[in-house]
Amino acid sequence: MPPRYAYWTIIAGGLPTAFRAAVREELLPTFQRIKEKHPDAQMKYFARGKLWESQEAARTAEHRQGARGRDWRPGGDHRDPRQKFVDAKKQRNAAHRKERWERKNAPRRERKPWVRGQGTEDPQQPPRPRGPNREPKPSEDPKPTRPPDEEQPTPPPAEPPERGYRQRRHQPQRRFSKGPRR
């Protein structure tokens, strides 16, 4: 059986007919009957969206065209737009692996002992004093508050609530009328 969309068909009056078959010989009797009324009728092979004179013509055109490579993309440019990011990542990973291998396989005399902050050019800061007598950080400075107005006396602080049993008034439960839900 040929591929799904490859078959022989009869073209009469420049238009395709409904007569189709996988093998040419199956259409020959029908083709002869149509040719009596339509002398311009032709039998053509349909494959890959085109009409061909024969199966061989379709096959040779396919081989001439060649198969698409891995980098073929639909559209204008025919290359993967993400490829530059993939290449950059591969290059970065390769450089990282090379650096790690060189560091691991360096001769013993060239290795430097590990020191915290190694490779920094900044001088070390003196240790900051700790505890309650230290200077506050700039972010810890208290914000200035506005002095109270002399005209208005400051109210005395509120007394704490009394502790103990408070009486509650009984409140009946609310009853909702039954109606349609919204």
User: Tens of pLDDT along 130-174?
Assistant: 777 777 666 666 677 777 666 666 677 777 666 665 555 666 666
Q: What is the pLDDT of residue 79?
A: 75
Q: Is residue 51 part of a domain?
A: yes
Q: Is residue 119 part of a domain?
A: no
Contact 57, 6 (CB under 8 A): no
Cβ burial, residue 162 (10 Å; 0-12/13-18/19+): exposed
Q: Is residue 150 part of a domain?
A: no
> Residue 43: which domain range?
7-65
Q: Is residue 72 part of a domain?
A: no
User: Does 77 have pLDDT greater than 90?
Assistant: no
Q: What tens digit of pLDDT does each residue of 12-58 get?
A: 999 999 999 999 999 999 999 999 999 999 999 999 889 999 999 98
Q: Is residue 77 part of a domain?
A: no
Name the residue with tokens 């490779």: 119
Q: Is residue 175 part of a domain?
A: no
Q: How many CB atoms lie within 10 A of CB 180?
A: 4
Locate 13 and state its tokens: 């009056």
Sign of the alpha-carbon dihedral angle for 42, 47, 52, 55: negative
Per-residue pLDDT, averaged over 91-110, amounts to: 87
Q: Is residue 78 part of a domain?
A: no
Q: Is residue 174 part of a domain?
A: no
Reference 68, options 60, 83, 58, 79; nearest CA is 79
Locate 179 and state its tokens: 């109606």
How many domains, in total, are found in the chain?
1
Phi and psi at residue 98, to the nearest 5° = -65, -45
Reference 41, options 28, 50, 54; nearest CA is 28
The pTM assigned to this predicted structure is 0.37
